[in-house]
Amino acid sequence: MDTNTHDRQGGGGGGSFLARLGGIDRRWIFLAIESIPEGSRVLLAFDYDPASAGELQPMANAMVHHCAARGHKIVFMALWPLGKQMADATIDDVLLEFHPNYAYGTDYVQLGYKAGNEAVVKLMATNLPQQYSTDAAGAALSSLPLVAGVQDLAAFQLIASISAGYPGAKEWVQYANSAAPEAFTLVSGSTGVQVSQLLPYYPAQMEGLLVAVKGAAEYEMLVTAKYPSADKPELLAERLGQGRVRMGPQLVAHLLMIGLIILGNVAMIAGRSRGGAR
């Protein structure tokens, strides 16, 4: 995948119609994380549960590794009850495995799950400490250097929602991005079925959108190509290669669907012919 010839303007924004046709979304998330200054504060919202982990966990792993490789400070949170567990798994499997220098409280914080769906986003947009007075373990935010003094979402340079449905990326667009369109960059990774609802927001409200396993696989390729692991290459390939591995079964499944559709139509035509012959 050639990232060097990528033109930031050529895909998501202007340029000719044919150039826009060639614009592929995954590169925008890669560039979004690359373009913010090193050491920026980033918010990752794990808005999914184990049912969607097949599609979204590869995206989450790649995004965390990418952010950590750029030295960004990561704040984890979840709008889904089981999202916290997904974030904990990513922290254990990727962040602490490949970036053992990351310290809790100064380099990353786990805020955990808060009930309230979009009301959580609304309140965080204007008064984050009121929504999250402590982190997931019960430590006061004021005792954590990374988030002490953070008043609202403007303190983050990038917000990424890894989203399987409601509440998710759409709520981040409606309540966070609309509150302050220029304050931060919003990107999202989404399941394939939901992406049709999110595409209208791209690229005006959402700078990048990863779509299903294919988007995850392409993003993994970009991240692992630019940020390999010197001491654990095989482990990195395994942990950040799941998206690519799952492309194989997906191909088989899609070919099966096509085959079934063709078979159904053949049966219909055959049935009509038999009926006509009678």
Partner 1 sequence: MMDRSRTHRTRRLAAASLAALVATAAAMAPFSLATLAWAGELAATAGAAVDASAGALASALPAASTGASSITEPAVGWINTSRLPLLVALVIICGSVIAGILLARSGRPLRIRRLAALDAVDEAIGRATEMGRSVLFVPGIQDMTDIQTVAGVTVLGRVAKTAAEYDARLEVPTSRSIVMAAARETVQAAHFTAGRPETYNESNIFYITDEQFGYVAAVTGKMVREKPAACFYMGAFYAESLLFAENGNSIGAIQIAGTAEPSQLPFFVAACDYTLIGEEFFAASAYLSGERDQLGSVKGQDFGKLFIAAAILIGCALATAAVFIPSLAGAAASFKAHLGG
Partner 2 sequence: MLQRTVPIAILSLSGLILMLAYFSPMTTSWGETVLEWFNILAAVAFVLGAGNLLAVNLEKISSRRPGWAYAGITLVSFFLMLGFGLLKVGAVPNPEHPDLHFAGSYDTAASPFGWTYEYVFSPLTATMFAMLAFYVASAAFRAFRAKNTESILLLGTAFVILLAQTAAGMFLTGWIPEDSMFAFLRLDWMKVAITEHIQTAGMRAITIGIALGVVATSLRLILGIDKSYLSRS
Residue 276 touching partner 2 (CB under 8 A): no
Quick one: 37 or 138, whose CB is closer to partner 1? 37
Q: Which is nearer to partner 1, 136 or 187 (CB)?
A: 187
Is residue 204 a contact residue for partner 1 (CB under 8 A)? yes
Q: Report the nearest approach of partner 2 to the CB of residue 71 (Å).
A: 28
Which residues partner with 187 through β-bridges? 160, 208
All residues at 6 or more sequence positions from 195 whose CB lies less than 8 Å from its CB, including other chains? 209, 211, 212
Candidate list 43, 59, 75, 123; residue touching partner 2; CB under 8 A: 123
Applying CB under 8 A, which part among 67-75, 89-97, 182-190, 241-249 lies near partner 1?
Answer: 182-190
Q: Would you count residue 213 as binding partner 1 (CB under 8 A)?
A: no
Residue in 206, 210, 185 with CA at minimum distance from that of residue 41: 185
Nearest one of 21, 18, 13, 22 to 5, comparing CA atoms: 22
| Interface with partner 2, residue 258, by CB under 8 A | yes
Burial grade of 169 (CB within 10 A; 0-12, 13-18, 19 or more): buried
Task: Identify whether the C-beta of residue 81 lies closer than 8 Å to the C-beta of residue 50.
Answer: no
DSSP H or E stretch at residue 206:
none
Based on the shown chain and the rule CB under 8 A, indicate whether residue 196 belongs to the binding site for partner 1: yes
Asked if 49 interacts with partner 2 (CB under 8 A), we say yes
Residues written for the chain? 278
Query: Binding partner 1 by CB under 8 A: which of 179, 235, 237, 247?
Result: 179
C-alpha span between 266 and 199 (Å, rounded): 35
Q: List the one residue out of 127, 134, 83 whose CA is nearest residue 109.
A: 134
Q: Which pair of structure tokens corresponds to residue 212? A: 């299903």
By C-beta, is 200 or 249 nearer to partner 1?
200
Q: What angle do CA 178, 167, 121 make, to 5 degrees?
A: 45
Binding site for partner 2 (CB under 8 A): 18, 20-24, 49-54, 82, 84-85, 115-116, 119, 122-123, 126, 137, 192, 195-197, 199-200, 202, 212, 214, 247, 250-251, 253-258, 260-261, 263-265, 268
Binding site for partner 1 (CB under 8 A): 8-9, 12-15, 17, 20, 28, 35-37, 51, 117, 125-126, 151-158, 165-166, 173-174, 177-185, 193-194, 196-197, 200-201, 203-205, 207
